A and B are shown apart, each in its own frame.
Chain A
Amino acid sequence: MSAGPALAAPMGVPAVPVALPAARRIPATKRGLLRRNRAMAAAALVYLLFVFVALAAPLLAPSDPDAQVLPERFKPPGWLTGEPDHPLGADNLGRDVLSRLIFGARVSIAVGVATVVASAVLGSALGAIAGYARGHVDGALLLLLDIWMAFPPLVLAIALSAALGPGLPNLILALVLTGWVSYCRVIRGEVLSLREREFVLAARVIGASGARIVARHLMPNVMAPILVLATLEMATVIISEAALSFLGLGVGASQPTWGGMLNDGRQFLRQAWWLATFPGLAISVLVLSVNLLGDSLRDALDPRLRSR
C-alpha cells in the first residue's frame, strides 16, 4: 500500500486545494471488500453469539425453561410490568419465555450444524464420485437427483419427519435426506470441469488411484464452493427445523424449540403477543446472520455462485 495519494498539482494547473475526502482514498473495489469484510465479521459475531448462548444455556437462562409457575401465566415482558422476573414475559403455563428462548437456541444451532455437516459430506462425496467417474455412475446419480428434486424440499422434510417419528437424530436424518442434493449438484459440476485440468491428469499419469485423486486432488479444490453452499444452506436448515417444530414434528415437545414456541404462541395471539413475537425474532436474526455470512463468503470466495 502506498504512503498516500500524491497531491502535487500537475504542471500548469493552479494548485488549488483539492476537495479530497478526509480519509485516504481507497480504490472502490477495495472499499467494497472492506465493507464486505466488516459485514462478514458482524454477521459471524452474531452467529457466534447464538452458538455461545446455545452452549452456555444452563448458565445464562434466568430460570428452568420447563418450570411451570401457574400464577405467572401470561405475565407480560418485564419492561412493561416493571418486575424483572420475566424479562420477555411468561407463557400460557407460566414458563419463562427468555429461558425457553435460550434453551431453544440449542436445537436450532445443533440441528443447523449437524445437518449441514452431514449433508455436505454425503452430497459432495456422491457428487465428486459421479463427476469423476462419469458414465453410468453419473447417469444413475443424475436420475436420483431428478427424482429427489421433484419433491418440494419442505414437503419431503415434512413427510420424512412424519414417517421417521420425533427425536433429534430422526429430525437431522430427515433434513439430511432432504438437503444433500444441493451439494451433490454443485460439486458434481465443479468436479466435471476440474477433472480435465492438468494437475489431475498429472496425478493420473504418475499412477494415483481414482479414490486418491478425488480425495487428495479434487476435494481440496472444491472446498470453497462447499463452504459457501454450506453456510447458505444452514439458513434453509434452520428455517426448515423451525417449520417442522411449528407443525409439531421435529424433536417433539420434550424440549423447547423456537418453532414450537411460535406454534404455542399462535394460539394465544390475542392474550399475549410476546409469545409468538420473540421466537420468530430469534429465528430471523439467526437466519439473517447466517445468510449475510454466506453472501459475503460467496462474494469473497466464489463469484461464480453469485446467481444462486
Chain B
Amino acid sequence: MLTYVLRRLVLLGPVLLGISLLTFTLMQLIPGDPVLIMLQGEGRSAEDVARIRAQWGLDQPAAVQYVSYLSRLVTGDFGRSFMLQRPVLGVILESLPATIELAGVSLVVAVGISVPLGIVSAINHRGAFDRLATLVAVLGISMPGFWIGLLLVLAFSVTLGWLPASGRLEYRVGLQQVTGFYLLDSVLTGNVEALANALAHLAIPALVLGSAMGAVTTRMVRSSMLEVIRQDYVVCARSKGLAERVVITSHMIRNALPPVVTIIGIQAGTILGGAVIIETIFAWPGIGRLTVQAISARDYFLLQGIVLFFALTRVFFNVLTDVLYGVLDPRIRFS
C-alpha cells in the first residue's frame, strides 16, 4: 500500500513536468508583450518597460525562462503578483480557506443529495420516483449554476430578504480568526452569532455548487447501483432469506460504492473549477474570485500560479481517490 502510494507519486514526475510546461506555455500564448499589457498603457518610458522586463526575466529566450520558472517552482516560488505586488503563493494560500470551506460544504450537500437519491432511484428502477429523480438530475445538469444562483438570490435575498446575497460574513459580526475557516473559527471561539451568519452566507452558494455536482453524482450512483442490483450474489442473498434491508445495505451499496467514490473524488477536484464562477457571483473571497480578478487585472503571473495550483490540487485528489478506492475495494491489488 505504502509502496503503491510512493510509486504513484514517482510516476507523477512526468505529469507534473508537463503541467508546469503547459502553464508556462499559457504565458507565451498571450499575443504581444505581457509587460505592456499588464501596465495597461500607464505612462511608462521605454526604459522602464525594458527594466521591468529584465527584472521579471522576460527578456530571456523562452527555454531559459522555462528553466528558471521550473527552478523557482521547485523552491515553492510561484512568482509575484503584478496586481498585489506580493508572492503569488501567499495570495493563493490566503484565499484557500474560503474556497475549501465553500467546496467542503458543497461536497456535503452533493453527497447528501445524490447518494440517497441515486440509491432509492435504482431500487425503484423505472418507478415513478426513479423517473422524477432522473428528470431532476437532467435538469440539474442542464441549468447553469450561475443562473440558478442568480434566481436563488432573486428569490431569497432580493425578494424575501432571508439570506445575504454576497460575502462570507457581515462586517458588524466580529470573528476572531484562528484557522481562516469561519465555521470552525466560530465554533472554536464559541461565537454563535458568527456561526449563524457564516452559515447564512454559505447557504445559497453551497446549495448551487453542491446541487450541480449532486446532479452528476446522482446519475452515477444510480447506474452503479443498477449494475450490482442484478448480480448473482444479490439474488443469492435474497434467496437465502436475508432481509431486504440487509441485501440493500451490505450487498448492493457495499459493492456499488467504490465507483461512486471515484466519481466523487474526481468531482472534488472539479468543484474548484465551478467555484470560479460561483465565487464571482457571491463575492466569495476565495481562489475562484481571485482567478477572475487576476484576469480582469491582466495579472498573468497570478493567473499562471492559480492554474498551476488548480492542476496540482486535482492531481492530488486523483491519487487520493485511487488509494481510497483500494481501501474500499480490497479486490484491487496495489501493484
Contact = CB atoms under 8 A, between A and B. Distances in A.
A152 B154 contact: no
Interface string A225-263: 000000000010001001100111100000000000010
Contacts of B154: 269, 273, 276-277
A163 B30 contact: yes
Interface string A92-126: 00000000000000000000000000000000000
Interface string A135-162: 0000000011011111111111011101
A266 B281 CA distance: 8
Kindly name the residue among A158, A242, A247, A248 whose own CB sees the greatest number of chain B CB atoms within 10 A: A158
Given A147-B15, A269-B158, A291 B138 contact: yes
B139 interface: yes
Interface in A191-212: none
A270 interface: yes
Interface in B140-177: 141-144, 146-148, 150-151, 153-154, 158
Nearest to B273: A152
Given A162-B303, A235-B142, A288-B139, 16 more contacts: A151-B311, A152-B269, A152-B272, A155-B273, A155-B276, A155-B291, A159-B303, A160-B29, A243-B144, A243-B146, A247-B280, A273-B154, A276-B154, A280-B144, A287-B143, A292-B138
Which of B14, B142, B153, B270 has the most C-beta atoms of chain A within 10 angstroms of its own C-beta? B142
B183 interface: no
Contacts, number: 137
Contact of A262 (B146, B272, B291, B314): B146
B296 interface: yes
A153 B307 CA distance: 11
Nearest to A307: B223
A189 interface: no
Nearest to A146: B15
A277 B144 CA distance: 12
23 contacts: A143-B18, A144-B18, A146-B18, A147-B15, A149-B314, A150-B19, A150-B311, A150-B315, A152-B272, A155-B310, A243-B144, A273-B154, A273-B158, A279-B147, A280-B143, A280-B147, A280-B148, A281-B147, A284-B143, A288-B138, A288-B142, A307-B227, A307-B259
A291 B143 CA distance: 11
B83 to A, nearest CB: 14
10 pairs of A and B residues whose beta carbons are closest in the complex: A280-B147, A152-B273, A147-B18, A288-B142, A154-B273, A150-B311, A163-B29, A287-B142, A284-B143, A162-B295
Contacts of A284: 139, 142-144, 147
Interface of A: 143-144, 146-156, 158-160, 162-165, 235, 239, 242-243, 246-249, 262, 265-266, 269-270, 273, 276-277, 279-281, 283-284, 287-288, 291-292, 295, 306-307
Interface in B235-286: 259, 269-270, 272-274, 276-277, 280-281
Contacts of B142: 235, 284, 287-288, 291
Given A146-B15, A147-B22, A155-B291, A235 B141 contact: yes
B27 interface: yes
B292 interface: yes
Given A143-B18, A150-B19, A155-B276, A246 B146 contact: yes
Contacts of A153: 270, 273
Contacts of B144: 239, 242-243, 280, 283-284, 287
Interface string B311-325: 110110010000000
Interface residues of B, number: 54
A164 B314 contact: no
A104 to B, nearest CB: 14
Contact of A154 (B139, B150, B274): B274
B223 A247 contact: no
Contacts of B14: 143
A156 B19 CA distance: 11
A235 B295 CA distance: 25
A159 B26 contact: yes
A174 to B, nearest CB: 10
Contacts of A249: 295
B277 A246 contact: yes
A243 B277 contact: yes
B209 interface: no
B295 A247 contact: yes
A160 B280 CA distance: 19
A54 B276 CA distance: 29
B76 interface: no
A306 B122 CA distance: 14
A235 B141 CA distance: 9
B31 interface: yes
Contact of A276 (B150, B223, B292): B150
A269 B26 CA distance: 35
Contacts of B22: 147-148, 151
A159 B307 contact: yes
A155 B147 contact: no
A156 B315 CA distance: 14
